[in-house]
């Protein structure tokens, strides 16, 4: 209840296949969502959600490589 809404990738401790995760992120990005409702955490909605998610998708592969996952 007190957690602030945030946008981040899948948790590394639950992600065994980073290529599948990246493929899923890219598929979701093609939907251009205006509302994101994650399995954990608070929903994200608002005018900036589409833009923030598009940026997240564009940077996902690079972020994974930089953090030593994948």
In order along its 70 residues, the chain shows pLDDT tens digits of: 566 677 778 888 888 898 899 999 999 999 999 999 987 778 899 888 999 999 999 998 887 767 656 5
Distance CA 4, CA 69 (A): 25
Per-residue confidence (pLDDT) for residue 4, from 0 to 100: 67
Q: Where are the domains of the chain?
A: 17-66
Per-residue confidence (pLDDT) for residue 67, from 0 to 100: 66
């Amino acid at each position: 209840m007190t957690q602030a809404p945030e946008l981040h990738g899948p948790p590394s401790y639950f992600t065994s296949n980073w290529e599948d995760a990246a493929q899923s992120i890219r598929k979701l990005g093609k939907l251009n969502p205006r509302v994101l409702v994650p399995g954990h955490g608070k929903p994200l909605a608002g005018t900036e959600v589409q833009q923030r998610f598009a940026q997240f998708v564009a940077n996902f592969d690079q972020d994974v490589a930089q953090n030593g996952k994948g």
